Chains A and B, each alone.
Chain A
Amino acid sequence: DTAVSQTPKYLVTQMGNDKSIKCEQNLGHDTMYWYKQDSKKFLKIMFSYNNKELIINETVPNRFSPKSPDKAHLNLHINSLELGDSAVYFCASSQDEEGELYNEQFFGPGTRLTVL
């Protein structure tokens, strides 16, 4: 049973295209995240989404937009892809304890995006 799943695992596309990455978690968690991991393995949070509240990392270009159809899904849509968007994108989820965030994050397997 996969706790956090992402599709596709690999995505190769041309500059300027629009693409989406899907994420689903079956853990019943309240909070989901998107991370970008670059070629140097630096891991940067892009968004977190909790009970319909979106928290954005202000450094993320507005070409990136998360979309959550329900609590178990948080998709990432990217417009007008650029060469610098090439990276591995990880989805993650965590469970909030009442009044306090438990904050152990469960990561998906990643989507390797290559922009040509």
Chain B
Amino acid sequence: QQQVKQSPQSLIVQKGGISIINCAYENTAFDYFPWYQQFPGKGPALLIAIRPDVSEKKEGRFTISFNKSAKQFSLHIMDSQPGDSATYFCAASYSGAVWCAGKSTFGDGTTLTVKP
């Protein structure tokens, strides 16, 4: 059972355009929703994260929109640049429960290509 579903699998955007990646989750116990960015040959790195008590979080050109009732969240990249070309993973995790300490469930990833 896949707990976090991510779409699209791949995305091609022109420079300056908006990139949008969507994720949906099932388990309402999740309370931390990060997005990770991975460049080829590197490990994933945290890009931006949100907790369900807010509906939106913005950091520079990156924004997470969160819809708790729909159990969906999305990453928006404004003014997309070729340097943003990477694989993006959404994730969902629990907090405060020792038995599942640190367990995060990742989406399947979206490969973003920003064309110059």
Contact = CB atoms under 8 A, between A and B. Distances in A.
B is bound to A: yes
Interface residues of B, number: 29
Contact of B32 (A55, A96, A103, A107): A103
Contacts of A92: 43
B60 interface: no
A104 B106 contact: no
Contacts of A90: 43-44
A49 to B, nearest CB: 9
A53 B42 CA distance: 28
Task: Give the interface SS of chain A, mostly helix, strand, loop or mixed.
Answer: strand
B104 interface: yes
Interface of B: 32, 34, 36, 38, 41-46, 49, 87, 89, 93-96, 98-106, 108-109, 111
Interface of A: 4, 31, 33, 40-45, 48, 50, 53, 55, 90, 92, 94, 96, 99-110
